[in-house]
């Protein structure tokens, strides 16, 4: 009897131990991002990214966009600043770009007081890891250094009173041939970057800050793009590391979503039966007559042209993430008509819709690529590029060359030189008066 009892206890203990070992594996599986059953994804195990939550921005925020050479391309940072300027002007966000080529998170940590914190940012986005992973297969030493330095960056921002949106590294499309110490396969490199992304989630959760998932939408987007547009589509750029415009649109989407922006850019409502029209969200109806509504807008939709199959096109990036659905909705709602179909004309472009589609609402930002806002939008965007180009000179040339001199005097001088670039953005952002014609077919 005693032997049977002992055997029972041993068996019960074994079952309990097996169960305890199994539970963490099940929990881990539940905490992973869903991924397609394709060999392309077999090398990565992305942890489930936390939801963004509500609006993280505050009116009058001073945003610092920090990162390595990918940030210094002035592409996703430019998309972000232009978006914040024209799509949510009521927030009055000011922006500075701090990208530096070849930089690791520890490198930014060493310079952030001199280069960034002196300008008193209230919120910052960071995008590091591409150089931190050393262009080699993952090892624990890399992970520990990255966690230490990136956490220190976050703490420094928080101690200075700034909120942080912690961005993960992106993905790679090739092994970087110009890095002499690079080793391992492409699959091992993306596994390493994914591991750093997972560390970023842990940092964001432990420090109670926002996380911007750059890696996963770029990685899944590269897969989707090749299915849609062909095997030569280079999401991570021609060199395999620095994305083109499509990839940068995906990056901008990740950061803007992490900021909690809701994408509601206004609604234009037309009642054909009563002959009345109204608008919300920075749009004012001037007149509605003979099927044509005249509107003055002090908010623009985000405008993008280009071939959808081209990795160097912003418009292409919009097909790989729900940018227009989530962040860029200027709705037209038309009711009260007696016809089954209507032709809608905006900015010289005309499209046909059923009465049901119009009653539900169409997204003008998505439907009309060439639209009345395009010229004004491009002027603002050009002014943003000019300002960010000067900021690169200010920080990476003047500050770097003269960092042992009187930095307060250098700051004052360079800020005076920067001021006209800021003023040019404000001057370019003007109200747009436009018309929408609705005609029965």
Q: For residue 10, count other CB atoms closer than 10 A to its CB.
A: 10
- DSSP annotation of 245: H
Find residue 439's DSSP bridge partners. Answer: 343
Q: Are residues 138 and 285 in the same domain?
A: no
Are the beta carbons of 160 and 119 closer than 8 angstroms? Answer: no
| Domain end among 258, 291, 319 | 258
Whether 397 is covered by a domain: the verdict is no
Count of CA atoms in the C-beta half-sphere (13 A) of 97: 30
Q: Do 280 and 330 fall into the same domain?
A: yes
SS3 369: coil
Which pLDDT tens digits describe the chain residue by residue (441 residues)? 444 434 444 444 443 444 444 433 333 445 899 999 999 999 999 999 999 999 999 999 999 999 999 999 999 999 999 999 999 999 999 999 999 999 999 999 999 999 999 999 999 999 999 999 999 999 999 999 999 999 999 999 999 999 999 999 999 999 998 999 999 999 999 999 999 999 999 999 999 999 999 999 999 999 999 999 999 999 999 999 999 999 999 999 999 999 999 999 999 999 999 999 999 999 999 999 999 999 999 999 999 999 999 999 999 999 999 999 999 999 999 999 999 999 999 998 999 999 999 999 999 999 999 999 999 999 999 999 999 999 999 999 999 987 777 999 999 999 999 999 999 999 999 999 999 999 999
Pairing of strands 432-440, 341-346: antiparallel
190 and 80 together in one domain: yes
52: which 2 tokens? 């963004």
Q: Would 43 be classed as within a structural domain?
A: no
What is the spatial distance between Cα 67 and Cα 169, in angstroms, rounded to a whole number?
Answer: 10
- Is there a single domain that holds both residue 251 and residue 104? yes
The continuous run of DSSP H or E covering 103 comes out as none
Question: Where in the sequence is the domain holding 361, given as residue range(s)?
Answer: 264-373+434-440
* 388 within some domain: no
CA distance 87 to 47: 32
pTM of the model: 0.92
Instruction: Say how many domains are in the chain.
Output: 2
Looking at residue 85, which CATH number applies to its domain? Answer: 3.40.50.1110
| 40 domain-assigned | no
């Amino acid at each position: 009897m005693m032997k049977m009892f002992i055997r029972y206890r041993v068996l019960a203990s074994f079952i309990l131990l097996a169960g305890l070992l199994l539970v963490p594996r099940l929990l881990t599986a539940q905490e992973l991002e869903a991924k397609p059953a394709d060999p392309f994804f077999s090398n990565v195990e992305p942890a489930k990214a936390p939801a963004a939550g509500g609006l993280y921005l505050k009116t009058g925020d001073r945003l610092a966009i920090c990162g390595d050479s990918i940030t210094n391309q002035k592409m996703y940072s430019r998309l972000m600043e232009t978006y914040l300027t024209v799509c949510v002007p009521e927030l009055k966000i000011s922006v500075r770009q701090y990208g530096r080529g070849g930089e690791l998170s520890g490198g930014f940590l060493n310079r952030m007081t001199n280069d960034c914190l002196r300008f008193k940012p209230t919120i910052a986005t960071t995008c590091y890891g591409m150089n931190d992973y050393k262009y080699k297969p993952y090892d624990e030493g890399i992970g520990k250094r990255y966690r230490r330095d990136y956490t220190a960056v976050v703490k420094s921002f928080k101690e200075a009173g700034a909120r942080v949106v912690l961005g993960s590294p992106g993905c790679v499309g090739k092994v970087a041939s110009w890095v002499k110490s690079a080793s391992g396969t492409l699959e091992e490199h993306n596994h390493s970057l994914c591991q750093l992304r997972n560390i970023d989630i842990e940092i964001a959760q432990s420090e109670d800050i926002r996380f911007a998932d750059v890696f996963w939408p770029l990685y899944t987007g590269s897969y989707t793009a090749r299915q849609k547009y062909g095997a030569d589509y280079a999401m991570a750029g021609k060199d395999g590391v620095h994305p083109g415009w499509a990839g940068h649109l995906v990056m901008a989407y990740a950061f803007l979503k992490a900021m909690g922006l809701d994408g509601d850019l206004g609604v234009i409502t037309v009642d054909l039966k009563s002959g009345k029209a109204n608008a919300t969200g920075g749009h004012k109806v001037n007149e509605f007559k003979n099927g044509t509504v005249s509107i003055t807008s002090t908010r623009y939709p985000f405008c993008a042209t280009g071939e959808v199959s081209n990795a160097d096109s912003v418009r292409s990036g919009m097909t790989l993430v729900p940018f227009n659905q989530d962040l860029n909705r200027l709705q037209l709602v038309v009711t009260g008509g007696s016809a089954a179909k209507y032709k809608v004309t905006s900015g010289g472009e005309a499209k046909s819709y059923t009465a049901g589609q119009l009653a539900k609402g169409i997204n003008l930002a998505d439907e009309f690529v060439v639209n009345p806002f395009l010229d004004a939008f491009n002027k603002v965007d050009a002014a943003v590029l000019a300002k960010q180009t000067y900021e690169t000179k200010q920080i990476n040339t003047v500050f770097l060359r003269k960092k042992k001199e009187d930095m307060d005097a250098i700051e004052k001088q360079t800020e005076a030189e920067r001021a006209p670039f800021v003023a040019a953005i404000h001057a370019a952002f003007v109200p747009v008066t436009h018309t929408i014609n609705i005609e029965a077919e």
